[in-house]
Structures are given as structure tokens and as C-alpha cells.
Amino acid sequence: MYGKKASELVKEFVSCEHGQLTSFNNDLFAQVIEECNGHLLHLQPLMRKIQEHENKLKDNRRSEDETAISEDESRKSEADTIFIQTAMKSDQFGALIHHLSLVRNKRCLMAYVYNRAEVIKSLGWVIDCVLPEEIEEKLSSSEKEYFKNHAATLQSYMSELDLDLTVDMIPPKDPYIKVRVLDDIGEVVLSDQVATLARNAMLFLRRTDGEQYISQGLMEELTG
């Protein structure tokens, strides 16, 4: 069935939780592209045949207008015209099916790529320039390049402003947060101290210091 694979591609994205991604489905994506190429290969000769039918109809009408023909010739010409029109309608319907299927596949492919790109773009606001491995392995090479360029642009803009726009997307109630370190990070320079961040250590940090480690999965914020 035409369009079924493209529909599966969109359903696969929709089935994810909001803001989450599954691995880029290269196989299914390539199959939809292949189906599009098949529609194009069928569509092109059909369009040529339709043009040929139209030219024949014009020639028949021109011939009837320019020369006097007998009744038998008139009936034969009318039969030829009906035959050409019937064949042309058949080709037109075939061309329409392939055209609409091609357009539908194109829209599904664009929806799949666009919506994944929107999720990837949103990651630039919560993740540093380096994607966690579990997210990176789900992206295609083009998506990895897209995130890299978007993150670099965002970082460049924030540097010009001298303002970190990724911190405190929701206004905090307290400038300090309590965190637990999830991995051995080592000695780091924070905004107000030098600290050694060892696994399972619990401490109070400025929110601006802790956010980058939380976004990388190296810390978790403790509430309550």
C-alpha cells in the first residue's frame, strides 16, 4: 500500500514521550525514499503519454476542421477520439495516484525530520555542547551536525551577551540547590569555591554551578 511506510515513520515519532527520541530509523527512511523514486519513475512516462494523447486530440480536431470528411471517416475519427480520451483518463488517474502518494511521502519525511530537529534544538537549552552518549547514538550524522552547529551558535550568542541563557529557564526560589554527585568528577573551580566532587557527595551549590553537571547526568538535584 502506497504511503504505509511513510505513515509508520511518523507514528514511530509520535509514539515517543514528549521531548524524547528513538534511534533515527535509517532503514525505514531509506525505504520511503526508494518508494518516492519509484513513484517518480512511474509518473514521468505517464506525463509524457498524457501529453502525447493531448497532441493526438489536437491533431484530430485540426484535421476535422481543415478537411471535409465522409460520414464513415467522421465515425472513425469520433471512435479514435473516444479511445484516446479513455486512454488519457486512465493515464491521468494513474499519474494522480503516483503524484499524491509522492506528495504524502514527502510530507511524512519532512514531518519526521522537522519534529526530530525541534527536539534536538531544544536539547541545546538543557545540555552542554557535548551530547550524552545515550542520546548521541540515537541521532543520524546530519542530526549530530545540526546539534553541533546549533549549540555553537547559541554559545557564541551568549558569549556576545556575556549571559548564560540556559540557566534558570524557570525562575528559581533559591540561588542555591542541594545536589548529590553521581560520578567522580574530581576537583573543579566553581564560582565561589574550589571543590572536589566525589561520587555520592552531597553539597549545596550555586544553581548556576550545578546546572551544567545536572544536565550532563553527573549530579541530581535533591528536593524536599
Residues 105, 26 within the same domain: yes
Residue 129 lies inside a defined structural domain of this protein? no
Q: Are 207 and 173 in contact (CB under 8 A)?
A: no
Res 35: pLDDT: 94
Last residue of a domain, one of 123, 156, 188: 123
Contacts of 163 (CB under 8 A, 6+ apart): none
Is there a single domain that holds both residue 108 and residue 180? no
Residue 212 is part of a domain; what is its CATH number?
A: 3.40.5
Cα dihedral across residues 85, 87, 88, 90: positive or negative: positive
pLDDT for the residue numbered 169: 65
Pairing of strands 194-197, 202-206: unpaired
Q: Is residue 146 part of a domain?
A: no
β-strand partners of 219: 181
Predicted pLDDT at 72: 64
Regarding whether 197 and 95 lie in a shared domain, the answer is no
Same-domain check for residues 94 and 191? no
First to last CA, the chain: 55
Residues 37, 17: Cα–Cα separation, whole Å: 32
* Residue 135 included in any domain: no
10, 115: one domain: yes
The total number of structural domains in the chain stands at 2
In a domain, residue 46? The reply is: yes
CATH number at residue 24: 1.20.58
**Is 30 in the same domain as 98?**
yes
| C-alpha distances out from residue 77 to 67, 81, 89, 90, Å | 12, 6, 18, 20
Give pLDDT tens digits along the chain (224 positions). 788 899 999 999 999 888 889 999 999 999 999 999 999 999 999 999 889 888 887 877 776 665 656 666 667 767 777 888 888 888 899 999 999 999 999 999 999 999 999 999 988 887 767 788 888 899 999 999 999 998 888 888 888 887 777 766 666 677 788 899 998 888 888 877 888 888 898 888 888 888 878 878 888 988 86
Identify whether 155 is part of a domain: no
pTM equals 0.67
Residues 26 and 98 in one domain: yes
**Final residue in a domain of this structure, among 123, 139, 168:** 123
Domain identity same for 17 and 101: yes
Residue-number span of the structural domain to which 206 is assigned: 176-222
- β-sheet with 219-222: strand ranges across: 202-206, 176-181, 219-222
With CA atoms as reference, report the closest residue to 203 among 220, 186, 216: 220
Q: Let me know if residue 212 belongs to a domain.
A: yes
d(CA 34, CA 177) in angstroms, rounded, equals 52
Co-location of 9 and 118 in the same domain: yes
- The helix (run of H) or strand (run of E) holding residue 180 is strand 176-181
Residue 167 within any structural domain of the chain: no
Flag whether 171 is in a domain.
no
Domain end marker among 103, 123, 143: 123
Place of cell 525514499: 33
